[in-house]
Amino acid sequence: VEVYGNTATSNGGGICAIDGSFIDQTDVVVSDNHSESSFGGGFFIEESTVEQEDVIVLANSAYQDGGGMYVSEGTMTMLGVEVSGNTSITSQGGGLYFYGSTIVQSQGSVDNNLAKTAGGGIYLGLYSVMDQKGVEIYQNIADEWKGGGMFVSSAADLIMQQGKVYENISNSQDGGGIY
């Protein structure tokens, strides 16, 4: 399945799931989607559950948070998911943005994403819990603030095992790899 070339004037250029939705995806490509004024270029997920296996989130953009994916108060399981070349034009989470969410991410990659402010690859916001195993985070950029590869909020929990974080850039402040 391919979801590509879509535009939303508000949230979720490619896919929008809210209010208890359940999405189960295998072998899906979500690319070149855009949120013109708000959140989630590829995906906008709010109060919903998403299970993904071998999904590619590529070259999406959001005007605000979550170029590739924006998840608020959701539950995510990501196995072998590639998040690459996404952009948050004015804000945080070039690849992935999470707020108040629970995330299990295994054997994937987050690379070549750009955020205007924090979390070039991943922005792990308040009240989020992320458990990563075997994930590579590389060549992401936080252009004007912190956390080139990943920004972890003070009220978030991150568990990382057997992964790699390399060649990320924070252009103006701290935490090239992880802040």
Reported as a single tens digit per residue, the pLDDT across 96-111 is: 999 999 999 999 999 9
What pLDDT does 9 receive? Answer: 97
Counting residues of the chain whose pLDDT is more than 70, the rounded percentage is: 100
| Model confidence at 173: pLDDT above 90 | no
pLDDT tens digits, one per residue of 43-93 = 999 999 999 999 999 999 999 999 999 999 999 999 999 999 999 999 999
- Give the CA angle between residues 82, 69, 61 to the nearest 5°: 95
pLDDT tens digits, one per residue of 142-157 = 999 999 999 999 999 9
The answer to whether the CB of 168 falls within 8 A of the CB of 139 is yes
Instruction: Write down the number of H helices and E strands in the chain.
Output: 0, 26
Both tokens of residue 62? 């959001």
What pLDDT does 101 receive? Answer: 98
The answer to whether the CB of 44 falls within 8 A of the CB of 70 is yes
| Model confidence at 112: pLDDT above 90 | yes
Both tokens of residue 112? 């070549």
Q: Lay out the sheet containing 102-106: strands in order across.
A: 22-26, 49-53, 75-79, 102-106, 129-133, 157-161
What pLDDT does 33 receive? Answer: 98
Coil, strand or helix: which one is 139?
A: coil
Both tokens of residue 113? 């994403």
**Cα–Cα distance between 28 and 101 in angstroms, integer?**
22
* Average pLDDT estimate for 154-179: 96
Distances from the Cα of 102 to the Cαs of 11, 31, 51, 94, 128, in angstroms? 21, 24, 12, 19, 6
Report residue 113's pLDDT band, with 50, 70 and 90 as the boundaries. Answer: very high
Q: Which of 128, 124, 155, 125 is nearest to 137 (CA)?
A: 124
What pLDDT does 172 receive? Answer: 86
